[in-house]
Amino acid sequence: MVPKLKHIALFALSMLLCTTVMAQKYNQELDDYAPDAKRKDKFGIRVGMGITRLNSPQLVNTKLSRGYEGAFYYRVNLFNGFHLNPELGASIKGANFTNGDVSYTQISLFNFDLTLLGIIQLDRDFNHNLVIGGQASRIMRSSMFIGPEQSPSFLQLPFKKWDYSAVVGYQFNTQYVGFQLALKYGLRNIAGDFYNYNKASSNNNGQQFIDIKPSLRNVKEIKNFSVELSMYF
């Protein structure tokens, strides 16, 4: 699928899922007849986008790329002022490169994500929260684009199957929707055996991975980094 269409389809699906919960007020968690009762647990969805980058001393001319994400979450009220928030979702991350029309210009990673967050209330009304936790990501598909091509030239690059990230962020709740700004920093080197990877281009142009310049065969370290802004319902 063309990258832009893939991104649009993922975002459209997420927004469609959002409509199933838009009828409820986000902060309407207390029983109207027992305002002092314990806050209820909550199931919902979160969608967003942000900027991502692949940090590596061996990748050259690396630039930021646009990323997308969506997740289902279940927030559990463990005790007053602290919630546990597991999530199951998907994301698109990667990086752009300014290496010219005959070399690689983008690397994209499609992930399934399992996230566990602790949410700490910063005020009595649950309007402001501190978020801290971790994320495990299964890299399902990796792709690399050459020059201005709209379809990937190489698929399933030699990345490791799992990535792990630390997450820290801030949440702001309104009556109908919440907003989250989060920083995710990769803790694992996800670069695999780039040196011995030598598959041919997937778009049948005859190009071999070993012929790409600047060479990627010396890539030994890659870590994910992203800043994401999302809405949750």
- The mean pLDDT value for 35-41 works out to 62
d(CA 145, CA 122): 44
Cα separations in angstroms, 23 against 8, 28, 173, 177, 228: 24, 11, 16, 11, 25
- The mean pLDDT value for 76-82 works out to 88
On the question of pLDDT at 12 being above 60, the answer is no
Q: What is the CATH number of domain 3-27+39-232?
A: 2.40.160.20
Residue 59, helix vs strand vs coil: coil
On the question of pLDDT at 132 being above 80, the answer is yes
Q: Where are the alpha helices (DSSP H) in the chain?
A: 3-18
pLDDT tens per residue, range 137-192? 999 999 999 988 888 999 999 999 999 999 999 999 988 899 999 999 999 999 99
**Position 21 confidence tier, pLDDT thresholds 50, 70, 90:** very low
d(CA 68, CA 14): 10
Measured in whole angstroms, how far is the alpha carbon of residue 59 from the centre of its chain?
21
Measured in whole angstroms, how far is the alpha carbon of residue 89 from the centre of its chain?
9
pLDDT > 70 fraction of the chain, expressed in percent and rounded:
82
User: Environment class of residue 48 by beta-carbon count within 10 Å: exposed (0-12), middle (13-18) or buried (19+)?
Assistant: buried
Q: What is the mean pLDDT of the chain?
A: 86
Sequence letter at residue 51: I
